[in-house]
Structure 1
């Protein structure tokens, strides 16, 4: 089963955008993801519609963040991507006649709704600034390890 990695990919690209002082073209961003620039443009268009990024055409064109990292949550990005399915499993039969299968479906669906609500609530609490702080701490630790060499 292929997992939907768009959220992870877009968060990756947005943090790269935050590191740039200038706009980044779809071609540049596609190299960060190892994908085609057309895929980047299509994905970024949904983020532009959500007010997360802006774009420019022609010379000096490309993508840039339209608001500070502190004002972009994982939930904002998730919603901009069309709220992809979180869980990749489901019921064997959506309208079963069997009463046992109806009971199974009801409990699984309820548990999945609760888990999804919890995850989306957490996504609303995490900003790109939080991810950026984590990245910077990792970068500093890695740089420190390189400066001191192996133990």
Structure 2
């Protein structure tokens, strides 16, 4: 089963943008993320609709943050992505009349609900500012500065 890494990818893009002075083009973000600019534009359009980023057209244009990093949580971004499933596992539903399947699903269902609630609560505790501070600490520890165009070179 393929993992859904959209949340991780969007956070990655937003943190790069937080380190960049001025607008960042979809092309530059796509190169940093090893993807297509169309994918970046699609993701960013959804974030723009939620007020987290804005776009400027024309020469010198691109994407900029439109939010206070200390007020936006991982849960906010997760919701902006449409609240995708956070767990790859799920209940079997092929034979709903089976009493064994019902018992198993009842036990697993509650465990899945508890795990998801715990994870979403944690998402609500972590702001983009906390992640940005972690990036800064890592840059300092490695004696590096942040350059979007070559951050992923090493």
On whether the aligned pair clears a TM of 0.5, the verdict is yes
| Two-structure CA RMSD over aligned residues (Å) | 1.4
Aligned to 1:71: 71
Structure 1: give runs of 5+ residues left out of the alignment: 145-151
Residue pairs, 1:71-150, within 5 angstroms: 71-93=71-93, 96-143=96-143
Q: Tell me the number of residue pairs that the alignment of Structure 1 and Structure 2 aligns.
A: 144
Structure 2: give runs of 5+ residues left out of the alignment: 145-154
Q: Equivalents in 2 of 1:95, 1:85: separation in Å?
A: 22
Q: Is the 8 A contact 2:53 2:67 kept in 1?
A: yes
Q: Offset of 1:34 from its aligned partner? A: 0.4
Q: Equivalents in 2 of 1:44, 1:129: separation in Å?
A: 19
Aligned to 1:147: none
Q: Is the 8 A contact 2:18 2:65 kept in 1?
A: yes
Aligned to 2:17: 17
Report SS of the residue matched to 2:143.
helix
Report SS of the residue matched to 2:89.
coil
* Greater helix share, structure number: 1
Which of structure 1's runs of 4+ aligned residues deviate more than 2 A? Answer: none
Aligned to 2:152: none
Aligned to 2:60: 60
Aligned to 1:149: none
Normalised to the residue count of structure 1, the TM-score between the two structures is: 0.90
Tell which structure's C-alpha radius of gyration is larger: 1
Q: Offset of 1:60 from its aligned partner? A: 2.2
Q: Equivalents in 2 of 1:24, 1:95: separation in Å?
A: 51
Q: Equivalents in 1 of 2:103, 2:27: separation in Å?
A: 51
Greater RCO (CA < 8 Å, at least 6 residues apart):
2
